[in-house]
Amino acid sequence: MRAVVQRVTSAAVAVGTEEVGRIGPGLCVLVGVTHEDDAEAARALARRLWHLRIFEDDAGRMQRSAAELDRALLVVSQFTLYADTRRGRRPSFTAAAPPEVAEPLVGALVGELETLGATVRTGRFGADMAVTLTNDGPVTVVLEV
């Protein structure tokens, strides 16, 4: 699993005119699933996300996690994170897991985050979504498990 993680002051996701998820300060997480991923990868990514120390402490150093600060996460499935752009002008998405594999694993990730104590909002799997956010810092990292 691969995640692009952005520290945000706020983030929201909409499907058409319907807002389906919104958070204040926290993490906006775009998640991609590949063929080799399984439930253990989802659990491992959830633990890494919840405990990733990318929030500032009182001294301005990135020493605090979403878990420590009780910050929310907006999790949005993003199959395009596994795009192969090495050749040609059109990306190939063959490394992305098919929806019947990816959807339950994104669900497992969200479930594990909630088990760990996180407040989680999500997009809608497979929908054409509009994600808006205000990146804080800006801080953006890529995680892979």
**Which residues are known to be catalytic?**
78-80
Q: What is the DSSP string of 73-124?
A: EEEEE-GGGG-B-SSSSS-B-TTBPPHHHHHHHHHHHHHHHHHHT--EEE--
Angle between helices 99-116 and 39-51 (to 10 degrees): 40
Give the helix/strand (H/E) hosting 131: strand 129-144
Can you say whether residue 117 is alpha, beta or left, with left for phi > 0 and alpha for psi between -120 and 50 degrees?
left
